[in-house]
Amino acid sequence: MELSSVRVAEEALKYFSTTIRSIIQSVEQVVADKGVEEFTKKNLGMLLGMFKAYEHLWRACESGSEQENLEFLKHISISEKNNLQFQETLEDFFNSEVEYDNLLDKLDTMLNPFPNIDGNILDFQLQTLADPDSRPNIRDIVEGSNFTWMEKVAALGCKVIIVSFGEREGALRWKNDTNCPFNIYLDQDRKLYFALGMHRSLAKCWSRSTNSFYVGAMLTGRKLITPYPDIKDDPLQMGGDILLQQNGNFVKKYLSQFPADRPALKSFTDKMQTGS
């Protein structure tokens, strides 16, 4: 490995570790002074430093994805196995990543817990997007919806709906921008979300894996989804995909582990075919 490449990588790793520890220290101070809920409302932008640190590192290593970056660092680590200074720098980089995730895990335990929601999920009411005053329960929605997705899903007798926790204006705009063909319902008090185990999480929304995913997407030219600046939303709310029978029994429940995490369609169509 060329000496210049090693030096560039080493300096980028040092910059990353220093930046991340500075973020950790600043976040801990804000949370100590104002509390975690206040931090999530007004200071989340501090965590963008993790994104920028990854971008700086990957550009320095000329990597376009997390896997490429790790392979590059692995290659240098092997070629510089006798370089104690570099090995210590690399170990410190990995330690700083762990420290960052540990901080978010700690903050998650401090977030206001979501309530336990009892009752038959089919009786939960949702607000229709077309008519804010209309609040059908899930039983009526499942039985009455005539929207299906793809011939394969339709042939299996299944129907698709989308449930959003956000503002009505934001859902309307998103439906129009994406040409979404499905009915969208609102669960703004998040009773359904909480009943399904979909909670708010700093650790999942701002983790190092989430940051590295979006940095990789940006560096490889993928278009990133950006929020509507005039729509108030909750960037910590997690979601998922649910396959539900008309009697209210769950056939499959997939809870996302990070914002862009979605299961393969086949994993659901297989369940649709068997019904269990």
Task: Specify the amino acid at residue 68.
Answer: E
Tell me, what's the pLDDT at 23?
97
Tell me, what's the pLDDT at 19?
96
pLDDT at 72 over 80: yes
Tell me, what's the pLDDT at 159?
83
Encode pLDDT of 170-218 as tens digits: 999 999 998 888 889 999 999 999 999 999 999 999 998 888 888 888 8
CA separation for the pair 44, 27 (Å, rounded): 9
**What count of Cα atoms within 13 Å lies in the side-chain half-sphere of residue 254?**
14
CA separation for the pair 173, 191 (Å, rounded): 23
Pairing of strands 161-164, 127-128: unpaired
Encode pLDDT of 1-18 as tens digits: 555 778 888 999 999 999
Tell me, what's the pLDDT at 149?
58
Which two three-digit tokens encode residue 189?
Answer: 């008090």
Please state the φ and ψ torsions of residue 236, each to the nearest 5 degrees: -95, -10
pLDDT at 122 over 70: yes
pLDDT at 148 over 60: no
* Burial profile 196-225: b = 16 or more Cβ within 10 angstroms, e = fewer: bebbbbbbbbbbbebbbbbbbbbbeeeeee
In this prediction, residue 113 has a pLDDT band, given cuts at 50, 70 and 90, of: confident
Which two three-digit tokens encode residue 155?
Answer: 């042939």
Tell me, what's the pLDDT at 17?
97
Chain-wide mean pLDDT for the chain? 87
In this prediction, residue 30 has a pLDDT band, given cuts at 50, 70 and 90, of: very high
Mean pLDDT of 146-167: 78
Encode pLDDT of 221-275 as tens digits: 887 778 888 998 898 999 999 998 888 888 999 999 988 888 988 888 888 887 6
Tell me, what's the pLDDT at 266?
85
pLDDT at 114 over 80: no
